[in-house]
A and B are shown apart, each in its own frame.
Chain A
C-alpha cells in the first residue's frame, strides 16, 4: 500500500508527519513524503503520478477545515477517487465535519501512531 504524506498550506510543523512516515515504513507501508508547503492541487497531482492508495495530510496551523474542503473539491473536479485522511492539530469537534467532506478518517490531536497504523491495516483488508 502506497501512502503519500503531505503538508498542505504554509504550516512548517513537520515533526509529526516525519514521525508518522518512519512508523508507517516500519509497519511495512510504502511511504512517499512531499515535503512542506504544497497546494492541494500539487498534492493530488503527485498522488496520481506515484499511484498512491491513500493520501495523508498533516495540518497543525488550524487551517484544516478550509484545506480539507478544498481537498475533496479538487479530487472531484479531476474525477480522482484516492481515499484521503488528515491528522495534526485537529480538534475532536471538527472530526465529523472533515469526514463529512469525504475524508476516510480525521485523527485528532494526541492520536497515537499505532492507531493510525491499525486504521490503515483495517482499511487495506476491506
Chain B
C-alpha cells in the first residue's frame, strides 16, 4: 500500500461520526472509548489523591520537579576504563548529574578479558572490568559523593558492587554516604537480555545477599533496579511489563524478609527501570496505576510503616523497541515524545535511547542530542512548573484505574504458574513474551501496527549511513596486558586465600558480600570469583521451547 493511500485512509476515520469509528484497542488489550467524561471517574481514587501522599498515584513527592527536576542519566561507557573515564568527564561537564555505566559482555557474563570465550568482545559494548584496578582508573578524578552512579550489571553484580564499595573505602569515603544503583535484577535476565550465569535459585540468592548487605552497611545505595524495561523489549505488553516487574520485586522482597531484615530497612532502596514506547496515554496510565498498586502492595501486603518504602521510584525512558532503522532521524522525534511521557508520568530519572541505537553504540553527537532533548524539556517546556499536570483528566484517571486492576490480574496469572521464580525457571514467561514479540513483528509487517517510515510513509533510502563506533582492538589488547600485569604484581597467596574463603562461604550458604569485597581488594578478578561460584552453584541451563 502506498503512503498516499494510507494517509487518505487515516483522514477518513478522522471524519467518521462517533458511532461508526473503529474499535481502538491498546496494546494491553484495553478498549478506548471515543470520549471520557466525569462519569468515567466515579469510582476513581483520583479525587482523593495528593502527590507525596499514599498511594502516590500523582507522584512520590509533594512538589516533584518544582523542587528538583528528574535526574538525567544517559548510558555510557565503552572500551577501556581510561576511555570511559574521559567520557564520564565529558558528560559531567555537559551537565549530567548521574552516571550510568555500561559494561562489556565478558564483564557481564563473568569472563576475564584473556578468556578465549571472549573472542572479539572485550570492551565492545561497554567498559571492560577485570579487577579493582579498572574501577580505580574509570572513576579517577570523579567525586563519588557528588554524583550518583548506576551500574548496569546483573549476573556479576555482586562482584561489581563489591568493587564500587571497595573503591570508595580505599579512597576514604564512608560507604554509608554512597548513593547509586546497581541494576542487579537477575530474574529479568532470564526473560530478556540473557546475561545469566547460575541456576535461578542461586542467582536470586546472590541478589538477596546484596540487598541484605546494603540494608546493613551501604544504606543509601539502591542495590536492585527491577527492570520491566527488558521484559517489555522482549515482547511483553505494558500491563505485563509492570506485573512481571512487581512479581520479581516481590520475590526479592520475600527472600530478604526471610533473612530477618525488616521491610522498612530495604524496601525504600528498591527501584524500577521501565520502558517507554507505544501509546502515550497508555504509558502514562501504566506508571500512575502501577505506582498506586506498588504502594498498596508494600503497605498492605508487607505492613511497611515508612511511606518511602512504598514509593515506586523509577528510571523511565529508553524506548529502544519503538525506534526504527528506517529513517533513523525519526527516532529523534520519537525520543522527544518518550521524554515527555516520562516527565508526565513523574519519573525520578530519565535516560533516552539515542537515534542511532538501532545500529550502534551512540556516537558522541547522538548522545548529546539525547541530553539536549531532556534539557529542553526541563528548561523550555514548563514541565517542571506543576505536579502531575494530567491528574484529573477523565481519560487518564479512568485508564490509571484500569491499569491498576489489569496489572493485579496479570500478577495473579503468574502466581497460578507457581510464582515468578518457577515461571522463569520453566521458561513459561519467556515462551509467552517471545511469541508476543513474533505477533508484534507480524503486525508491523502486515501494517496492522502502524509504524511511520516502516509500513507507512516509506521512502527509498540508501542503506547507510549511521556512523559506526569502531571496535578498538588495541584497547582490547591493552586490557589483556594490564590484567596479566596485575596478576603478576598482586599478592597471589592473599588472592588464593580469599577465593578459598569464598568457596567455603558458598558451601556454608552465608552472605557472600563481605568475602567478595575482600577478594576484589586483593585484586582477584571477576572471572576468578565467578568461577568459584560456578564450581559450587553450577550453571543455568536455558529452557528451549522450539
Q: Pick from B111, B124, B326, B361: contact of A110, CB below 8 A.
A: B326
Q: Could you say which residues of chain A place their CB within 8 Å of the CB of B82?
A: none
Stretch at the interface among B55-63, B384-392, B437-445: B437-445
Report if A2 contacts B (CB, 8 A).
no
Complexed CA–CA distance, A15 and B117 (Å): 22
Q: Pick from A18, A66, A112: contact of B120, CB below 8 A.
A: A66
Q: Pick from B125, B434, B438, B542: contact of A62, CB below 8 A.
A: B125
Q: Could you say which residues of chain B place their CB within 8 Å of the CB of A36?
A: 194, 542
List A1-60 residues whose CB lies under 8 Å from chain B.
9-15, 18-19, 21-23, 25, 31-37, 39
Report if B468 contacts A (CB, 8 A).
yes
Known contacts A61-B124, A91-B359, A113-B445; is A70 also within 8 Å of B192 by CB?
no
> Does more than half of chain B's interface fall in helix, strand or loop, or is it mixed?
loop
Q: Pick from A10, A12, A33, A39: contact of B544, CB below 8 A.
A: A33
B445 adjacent to A62 (CB under 8 Å): no
B120 adjacent to A9 (CB under 8 Å): yes
0 or 1 for each of A53-91: is its CB under 8 Å from B? (1 = yes): 000000001110111001000000000000000000101
Report if A102 contacts B (CB, 8 A).
no
Known contacts A14-B194, A15-B434, A35-B542; is A9 also within 8 Å of B119 by CB?
yes
Nearest to A66 among chain B residues (CB) is B120
List B468-513 residues whose CB lies under 8 Å from chain A.
468, 471
Q: Could you say which residues of chain B place their CB within 8 Å of the CB of A66?
A: 119-120
Complexed CA–CA distance, A9 and B115 (Å): 12
0 or 1 for each of B96-121: is its CB under 8 Å from A? (1 = yes): 00000000011011010000011111
Nearest to B358 among chain A residues (CB) is A109
Q: Could you say which residues of chain B place their CB within 8 Å of the CB of A112?
A: 445
A61 adjacent to B119 (CB under 8 Å): no
Q: Pick from B195, B435, B441: contact of A12, CB below 8 A.
A: B195
Nearest to B194 among chain A residues (CB) is A12
- Most chain B beta carbons < 10 A, residue from A15, A22, A23, A89: A15
Q: Could you say which residues of chain B place their CB within 8 Å of the CB of A39?
A: 117
Q: Could you say which residues of chain B place their CB within 8 Å of the CB of A19?
A: 434, 437-438, 441
List B185-201 residues whose CB lies under 8 Å from chain A.
189, 192-195
Q: Could you say which residues of chain A place their CB within 8 Å of the CB of B194?
A: 11-14, 36-37
List B443-466 residues whose CB lies under 8 Å from chain A.
445, 463-464
- Total contacting residues, chain B, CB less than 8 A: 41
Complexed CA–CA distance, A91 and B106 (Å): 23
Q: Could you say which residues of chain B place their CB within 8 Å of the CB of A34?
A: 544
Known contacts A61-B125, A91-B468, A113-B441; is A15 also within 8 Å of B233 by CB?
yes
Q: Could you say which residues of chain A place their CB within 8 Å of the CB of B105?
A: 9-12, 61
Known contacts A35-B542, A109-B325; is A13 also within 8 Å of B193 by CB?
yes
Complexed CA–CA distance, A120 and B124 (Å): 31
List B218-240 residues whose CB lies under 8 Å from chain A.
233-235
Q: Could you say which residues of chain B place their CB within 8 Å of the CB of A25?
A: 546
Q: Pick from B119, B189, B324, B361: contact of A63, CB below 8 A.
A: B119
Q: Could you say which residues of chain A place their CB within 8 Å of the CB of B117?
A: 10, 39
Question: What's the least CB distance linking A89 to chain B, in Å?
Answer: 7
Q: Pick from B234, B325, B435: contact of A22, CB below 8 A.
A: B435
Q: Could you say which residues of chain A place their CB within 8 Å of the CB of B189?
A: 12
Question: What's the least CB distance linking A95 to chain B, in Å?
Answer: 9
Complexed CA–CA distance, A109 and B465 (Å): 12
Q: Could you say which residues of chain B place their CB within 8 Å of the CB of A32?
A: 546
18 contacts between A and B (CB under 8 A): A9-B120, A10-B106, A10-B121, A12-B193, A14-B434, A15-B235, A19-B434, A19-B441, A22-B546, A23-B442, A31-B546, A36-B542, A39-B117, A62-B125, A66-B119, A67-B120, A109-B358, A113-B445
> 6 shortest A-B CB distances, which residue pairs?
A12-B194, A66-B120, A10-B105, A110-B325, A35-B542, A18-B434
What residues make up the interface of B, taking CB atoms closer than 8 Å to A? 105-106, 108-109, 111, 117-121, 124-125, 189, 192-195, 233-235, 324-326, 358-361, 434-435, 437-438, 441-442, 445, 463-464, 468, 471, 542, 544, 546
What residues make up the interface of A, taking CB atoms closer than 8 Å to B? 9-15, 18-19, 21-23, 25, 31-37, 39, 61-63, 65-67, 70, 89, 91-92, 108-110, 112-114
